[in-house]
Amino acid sequence: MNFSPLSRLAAATLAALVLAGSAAAKSIELLNVSYDPTRELYVEYNAAFAAHWKAKTGDDVVVKQSHGGSGKQARSVIDGLRADVVTLALAGDIDAIAKNAGALPADWQTRFPHNSSPYTSTIVFLVRKGNPKAIKDWDDIVKPGVSIITPNPKTSGGARWNYLAAWEYAKRKNGGSDEAAKAFVAKLYKNVPVLDSGARGSTTTFVQRGIGDVFLSWENEAFLAVKEFGADQFEIVVPSLSILAEPPVAVVDKVAKRKGTAEVAKAYLEYLYSDEGQDIAGKNFYRPIDPKAAAKYAGQFTKVELFTIDQAFGGWTKAQKEHFDDGGYFDQIYLKN
């Protein structure tokens, strides 16, 4: 076939445009579905990762964030929210996604170091300046007349950590009696006037609405409140015993594969373990797992005796079933109250 010079020129121009287009930098969008108090952490981390990925591959990455109570967020992913990655408050919520949506394998927690938890945290008490109710430990908050702010364990991961920390404290104090622990936690919830669906909602209730004497808070959330509203407004009280909260992360394979983002989603979570990722975690009052970063930020955290969920409750699956599933201990306590 003979084409005219004009046709050849048009074809060459078109081919050049196609090649130029394919060689151009890609723009990738990820959705990170996370729990309530990680907003500030991921705003800073997303910018750092985008710069890292751009330098490494030349591609632009925009990470969108979605926040809410951890259980509620897991429900949304199960119902179809197209998350590339989830960074939730507890492993049980990601287990639920694996089990109910089949969106990632059951052994997802083995994919990244440290059981896929790149940082840890714990539960502390945030009280009003001067600590007018003289709250020092768990026993003080269940006294009559003390108003406690904590979210709903049915929807909030942080609330489940709060609940389990109180349970274990009471159990140890009463010779390992679950009945005593149950009675203690029942007293605790009698003092709760408002049940928000997530930790950030509870922060609003305590900090902005001025309700309650003590807020059972994620450690990083308590630090943020003090930082934002001033040390003349609030104080952090660290109880004698608390729980080691290990918020995990995972790639949602089903979505990432479909969207073609599996590689960048994996890299996004891996980078949390990098020096920069760990430093950002520390700066945002999470406890880094990397020894170097942990040492750098050790000074800002009060030393506290911590127990793990595996040690005290036999893991999340068991704890979830016994305490938080319908008809579990929480329902027995709260519905009775």
**Interface ranges with other proteins (CB under 8 A):** 147, 193-197, 201, 205, 209-212
SS3 content of the chain, % helix, strand, coil (to 5): 55, 15, 30
CB of 69 to other proteins, least distance (A): 11
Exposure b/e, 307-323, CB count within 10 A at least 16 = b: bebeebbeebeebbeeb
Please state, in angstroms and as integers, the Cα–Cα distance from residue 297 to each residue in 100, 165, 239, 278, following that order: 38, 24, 20, 10
CB of 211 within 8 A of CB of 167?
A: no
Q: Where are the alpha helices (DSSP H) in the chain?
A: 5-23, 39-57, 70-78, 91-101, 113-116, 138-141, 157-173, 178-190, 199-203, 219-229, 253-259, 262-270, 275-283, 291-297, 309-313, 316-319, 329-336
Looking at the Cβ atoms of 32 and 197, the one nearer to other proteins is 197
Residue 89's nearest CA partner among 160, 163, 157, 161 is 157
CB of 199 to other proteins, least distance (A): 14
Looking at the Cβ atoms of 196 and 219, the one nearer to other proteins is 196
CB of 9 to other proteins, least distance (A): 28
Looking at the Cβ atoms of 116 and 191, the one nearer to other proteins is 191
Looking at the Cβ atoms of 209 and 258, the one nearer to other proteins is 209
CB of 316 within 8 A of CB of 95?
A: yes
Looking at the Cβ atoms of 140 and 196, the one nearer to other proteins is 196
CB of 211 to other proteins, least distance (A): 5
CB of 194 to other proteins, least distance (A): 5
Looking at the Cβ atoms of 209 and 292, the one nearer to other proteins is 209
Q: Which residues pair with 287 in a beta bridge?
A: 120
CB of 275 to other proteins, least distance (A): 40
| DSSP designation for 246 | -
Looking at the Cβ atoms of 193 and 314, the one nearer to other proteins is 193
CB of 215 to other proteins, least distance (A): 13
CA angle 324, 128, 34 (to 5 degrees): 40
CB of 335 within 8 A of CB of 113?
A: no
CB of 118 to other proteins, least distance (A): 30
CB of 249 within 8 A of CB of 93?
A: no
Helix (H), strand (E) at residue 122: none
CB of 58 to other proteins, least distance (A): 30
Looking at the Cβ atoms of 71 and 212, the one nearer to other proteins is 212
How far apart are alpha carbons 295 and 241 in whole angstroms?
Answer: 22
Residue 269's nearest CA partner among 7, 32, 24 is 32
Looking at the Cβ atoms of 117 and 202, the one nearer to other proteins is 202
